[in-house]
Structures are given as structure tokens and as C-alpha cells.
Amino acid sequence: MGSAVTDDFTVNGGPALVDYDDALATYEPVLGLETHVELGTASKMFCSCATEFGAEPNTQVCPVCLALPGALPVVNGVAVESAIRLGLALNCSIASWCRFARKNYFYPDMPKNYQISQYDEPLCTDGHLDVVVDTPDGPQEFRVGIERVHMEEDTGKTSHVGGATGRIHGADYSIVDYNRAGIPLLEIVTKPIEHTGDLAPLVARAYVTELRDLVRSLGISDVRMEEGSLRCDVNVSLMPRGADEWGTRSETKNVNSLRSVERAVRYEIQRHAGVLDIGGQVVQETRHFQENSGSTVSGRSKEEAQDYRYFPDPDLVPVAPDAEWIERLRADLPELPAAKRRRVKTEWNLSDEELRDLVNADAIDLVAATVDAGASPDDARKWWLNELSRRATESEVELADLPITPAQIARVVALVDEGTLTNKLARQVVDGVLAGEGEPDEVVAARGLQVVSDDSALGAAVDQAIADNPDAAEKVRGGKVAAAGALVGAVMKATRGQADAGRARELILDRLGATS
Ligand code: ADP
Ligand code: MG
Ligand code: ZN
């Protein structure tokens, strides 16, 4: 372990943050992203313990993941399969033979004192992922090189109790939960990402977003950044424009949201520029992103690979996927996000902007499922992007986490199409479904929301409206058809918006001997 490094900023004459545009005028950023994906396997990487999120601390543990003496790990086949599928989706080569390695270091959340990982023999190497960034000049595509995808196991989770920040400094004591220790992880490491210029923060964000969507489409992880099943380490360095040697990188650890990825890159560019502008040297170290301030603070100086004393794990047999299996997995890959975007753009006849809005709202799959359940693409898109996006924002949940399904939205659309609901009533039905009142039809029945269009029910309301508004009625009788609007309004009010307005108008004109 390196020694602690104090923060870089000193009060007098030390580096200061440089304005973002000024920094980019002088320097060219290089990025590297290391992303950890926690797999959704039922059991851990090397034992049969359950992996459920949120269980009682230290209940999902056994001699293997607690590393009791003599325990022997066995590789989880589904995890290997998931790694190969992701490698294939990222256009990687899949090794026909590779091994696990022990990465030796001490940390209390890691019971073995080493982590089983892969080092010089990763399962997947040399791929790429294309990402699209919105610029004022239109969408711009970047190809991000993938260095490797390797398998490893997660550590336990330490909580520092009593301090103000949840960090170890100032804490009274620390507790550790080993439920997470041994959960399978994939680490996806990019090649250095160059030539992004001032778009670097957006490219970083677009890459993590695209990777998240790709992993989700494979169904191998729920990739929830807020629950830590997708975490990102952000490497940034700067070199003078035109130089061909990369600068020293910093590595900001465990960045936990898409927005934070973007902010962390931005901040590090500004910070590095401050150090370099006064002739200083960027320290190669890990840093932590501070959600509140959007800044990073120094963690520890970076270990070199040699510090970990990697060696092949003697307890595990090599992983040697045969070519036939790999080809079967390749053939069985689902439609990947980029292909899906191209398809729906054509099938739903979307403009670039409409597609972008769907992508930004993370709504393509929801809309597609709603269309599959019978709604038109336009209706489905409007519901998810307008009404439901607003509800999601209000209740601070992801769109997909709203307690309403695409099938239910499709049913609401059908009820509007067949005339049972107006748009206004439909929104009340959605309210009811979101409030847990059941299926759309149950909400319609329970709340009595269907449009009133049968003449006997409407007729009474029409007669009442005419009686209550003699002036308007007189005008209509005298040929001023426009005055019927007030009467229709009265009917709508009396029926709390449930009347079929068109039919109400017909009845009013009929009763008053006028024609429209
Ligand atoms: P480590 O585990 O020590 O962080 P890795 O090689 O696993 O090292 O990951 C380093 C990441 O940083 C990779 O994505 C790599 O492409 C990227 N990287 C390497 N050198 C630089 C650099 N000078 N500037 C920015 N990123 C870099
Ligand atoms: Mg790293
Ligand atoms: Zn176990």
C-alpha cells in the first residue's frame, strides 16, 4: 500500500481549478473506464451461497466465501457463460484457455486476504463498443476500445459508524457484512480513449450508459448503479495539445451514477489542468468522488500491479470454453441495444430527436413492450415520455420502476381508443393503477370512470343544464349555436368530466331545436 497523500490544493500559490474551456484549449484529455458489473446469478462465484440483495448481514456466507481453512472454491458455470456472452456482445476475442489469479492484499472486507480475479489471462480481450454523443452539430459516434473483460469476485461491505461522512475518519467503529463477498463480478476495462476533446465527459457518460444497456439486454445483471451492481472507476489524464505521450492519470473510484461519471471527468480535467499549468506533476493515485460538491478528493497513492503479487490460483482448474459452446452463445445473443435503436427508429418512424428523447428517458424497452401489448407506437411513446416520465420524476424513481406495466398502459390506450375513456379519465385510471388499486378495468369500475354516453344517463344531465342556464339555452334556440358550449360545459361539470362531450352537444342542440 502506498502512503497517504494530502489533497493537492494549497492556499498559497498551489494549483487551482481551471475553467473547463480554458483547460481544453491547452490540453487533450485521455480517459480510461473500468466498470464492475455484479452478475445476477443465483449463487456466488465460487460457492453455492445465495446472492440476494438486502438480506440480513452475514446470513449468506459459508466456509468457502469466508475462506475458512481447507475450503475449496468451484467456478460458477453461469458466471462464465455470462462473461463470454458479454465478451461476444463487446466484439471481444474469447480465450480458449485462461486461469484465475490471486490478487493479494489485506482489507477487512475481504476474508481471504486475496481476491480471486484474472490478471494476465483474462477471458475476453480486444473488443469495442460504439457510443453516440449529442453535440450541437448533431449526433457524433465514438468507438471505445475494450481492453479486456475478466471475471472476479466482489468483496464484503464495510460500514463506518459514528462519523459524519460515512468514511473511516472520525468513525467510532466499523462493521462488515460478508454477504457480498464472493458475488461474481465482471470487470470491463477500456483501452485509453483519445481524441474526444471537450466531449470527454459526455463520451464517458455515453459509454457507461451504453454498457449498462448492453448488459441489461443480455439479462446477466440488473445493472443498478444506485444499488452498486454497476460501478465505475474513472481514469483521466491530460497531455498538452499535439503531444503524443499520455500524461499521468488519476483514478476516481466507485462512481455511482451516470451523472457523476460525467461530473468526475469534468472535474478531473479542471483539476489536472490546474496542476499542470503551474508546472506541477499530477500524482498517480485513487480519488473519491464527492456527490455533494461534484469534486474529487485524494484517496491513496496507487499500487503497482507488482504490489499485489498475482499468481495463478492453485485451487481452481483453468477455464477452457470449447469453440462450439462459444459459437452457440454467439448465435443465441439477443438483439443488442444499437440494433434495437435502429430497428425502432424505422418501425416507429421516429426523427433523430424523437429517438434521442426515448433513449434519454431510457424508455425504448418500455415503449416496445407497450407496443407488443397492442398500443400504437405514438400512443405508447406519449404515455411513457409525458405522463409517466413526469410521475417518475415526481416520485424520484426510474421510469421502469413505476408500479405500472406496459400491458396496463396498453389497456388504458385501448380503453381510450374504444371510447370508454377520455384522455382526462385515462390519466385518472393511471393514477389508480399507480396507487395500487388494481388493473385498469378494476380502477374504471371502482372509481366509476367510464365515459357517460348512453342517452338516458346523459339526457338527465342535459335537461338539468338547460334548466340551470336559461340565457344560454335561449341564445341557442335563437340560432346562436356557439352558446351551446356553456351548456356542454355544465354537463361535463355535472358528470365530473365523464360525459361524452360530442354526444352531449348533439342532445343539447336536438332538445333546443338547433342544428350544428
Ligand atoms: P489499474 O487496475 O491499475 O487501474 P488498468 O489497466 O486495469 O489499471 O486500468 C487502467 C485504465 O486506465 C484503463 O482503462 C486504461 O485504458 C486507462 N489508462 C491507462 N493509461 C491512461 C492514461 N495515461 N490516461 C488515461 N487513462 C489511462
Ligand atoms: Mg483500476
Ligand atoms: Zn459461500
Question: b vs e for 60-85, b when ≥16 Cβ sit within 10 Å of the residue's Cβ?
Answer: bbeebbbbeeeeebebbeebbbbbbb
Burial of 449 (0-12, 13-18, 19+ CB in 10 A): buried
Question: d(Cα 286, Cα 309) in Å, to the nearest integer?
Answer: 19
Give the pLDDT confidence of 468-506 residue by residue, as tens digits: 999 999 999 888 888 899 999 998 888 888 888 888 888
> pLDDT digit string (tens) for 273-306?
999 999 999 999 999 999 899 999 998 776 677 7
Model pLDDT, residue 167: 79
> Which atom belonging to ligand 1 lies closest to the Cα atom of 33?
14
Q: What percent of the chain has pLDDT over 70?
A: 96
Strands 285-290 and 250-255: parallel
Is residue 488 helix, strand or coil?
A: helix
Mean pLDDT of the chain: 92
pLDDT in tens, 94-112: 999 999 999 999 989 999 9
Centroid of ligand 1 to alpha carbon of 330 (angstroms)? 29
Say if residue 26's pLDDT is above 90.
yes
- What is the mean pLDDT of the segment spanning 111-138? 95
Q: Is the pLDDT of residue 77 over 60?
A: yes
> In which band, very low, low, confident or very high, does the pLDDT at 448 lie, cut at 50, 70 and 90?
confident
With a CB cutoff of 8 Å and minimum separation 6, the contacts of 316 are 46, 73, 75, 99, 100, 116
Q: Which atom of ligand 1 is nearest to the CA of 187?
A: 7
DSSP readout, 212-225? HHHHHHHTS----G
Q: Give me the mean pLDDT over the 73-88 stretch.
A: 98
265 alpha carbon to ligand 1 midpoint, in Å? 14
What's the average model confidence in pLDDT over 321-336?
98
| Residue 150 Cα distances to 197, 208, 311, angstroms | 29, 17, 15
Distance of alpha carbon 288 from its chain centroid, rounded?
Answer: 21
Nearest to 487 by CA among 462, 456, 452, 460: 462
Q: Which residues pair with 29 in a beta bridge?
A: 238
From ligand 3's centre to the CA of 51, what distance in Å?
9
Say whether pLDDT at 453 is over 80.
no
pLDDT value for 6: 40
Minimum-distance ligand 1 atom for the alpha carbon of 305: 3
Banded model confidence at residue 15, pLDDT cuts 50, 70, 90: confident
Q: At what angle do helices 337-347 and 352-360 cross, to 10 degrees?
A: 130
Helix (H, G, I), strand (E, B) or coil at 143: strand
| Residue identifier of the C-alpha nearest atom 11 of ligand 1 | 32
Which residue has a Cα nearest atom 24 of ligand 1? 237
pLDDT at residue 83, as a whole number: 98
Residue 259's H or E segment, with its range, is helix 258-277
Taking Cα atoms as reference points, which of 369, 421, 366 lies closest to residue 399?
A: 366
Ligand 1 atom closest to the Cα of residue 304 is 3
With CA atoms as reference, report the closest residue to 240 among 31, 32, 29. 29
What cell was used for 11?
492556499
CA distance 253 to 187: 13
CATH code of the domain occupying 455-511? 1.10.10
Q: Which atom of ligand 1 is nearest to the CA of 34?
A: 14
Q: Residue 246: what pLDDT? A: 96
Q: Which amino acid is at 328?
A: R
The alpha helices in 395-436, defined as continuous H runs, are: 406-417, 423-434
Q: Which ligand is nearest to the CA of 233?
A: 2
**What would the mean pLDDT of 122-145 be, rounded to a whole number?**
95
- In this predicted structure, the answer to whether residue 186 has a pLDDT above a threshold of 50 is yes
* Per-domain boundaries in the chain: 10-323, 335-447, 455-511
Per DSSP, 385 falls in state: I
Q: Which atom of ligand 1 is nearest to the CA of 191?
A: 16
Tell me the best of 233, 235, 252, 276 to mutate to test the pocket of ligand 1, counting ligand atoms within 8 Å of each CB and taking the most: 235
The closest ligand to the CA of 47 turns out to be 3
Return the ligand number nearest the Cα of 182: 3
In angstroms, the CA 155 to CA 157 distance is 7
Report helix angle 455-468 to 501-511, nearest 10. 60
Q: How far is the CA of 177 from the centre of ligand 3 (A)?
A: 13
CA distance 469 to 278: 81
Residue 14 CA to residue 309 CA, distance in Å, equals 37
**248 vs 283: CA distance, rounded Å:** 7
107 CA from centroid of ligand 3 (Å): 18
426: exposed, middle or buried (Cβ count in 10 Å: 0-12, 13-18, 19+)? buried
Bigger pLDDT: 425 or 143? 143
Nearest alpha carbon to residue 291 among 262, 325, 315, 250? 262
CA 158 / ligand 1 centre spacing (Å):
26
Residue 332: its pLDDT value, please? 98
Burial letters 221-252, b for 16+ CB under 10 A, else e: bebebeeebbbbbbbbbbbeeeeeeebbbbbb
Q: At 513, is the secondary structure helix, strand, or coil?
A: coil
d(CA 422, CA 386): 17
213-247 pLDDT, tens digit per residue, is 999 999 999 999 988 899 999 999 999 999 989 99
pLDDT exceeds cutoff 80 at 309: yes
* Range with lowest mean pLDDT among 363-377, 408-422, 448-462: 448-462
pLDDT at 13: 55
Question: CA 363 to CA 399: how far, in whole Å?
Answer: 7
Residue 151 pLDDT > 90, yes or no? yes
Q: Above pLDDT 90, what percent of the chain?
A: 77
Whether residue 200 has pLDDT greater than 90: yes
Cα–Cα distance, 334 to 342 (Å, whole number): 15
Largest CA distance in the chain: 100
**pLDDT at site 11:** 41
Weakest-pLDDT range from 126-135, 155-164, 366-375: 155-164
User: What is the phi/psi pair of residue 105, to 5°?
Assistant: -165, 160
Residue 69's DSSP bridge partners are: none
CA of 229 to the centre of ligand 3 (A): 19
CA of 326 relative to ligand 3 center, distance in Å: 28
Q: What residues are in contact with ligand 1 under a 6 Å CB criterion?
A: 30-34, 147, 189-192, 235-237, 246, 249, 251
Judged on CB neighbours under 10 Å (0-12, 13-18, 19+), 427 is middle
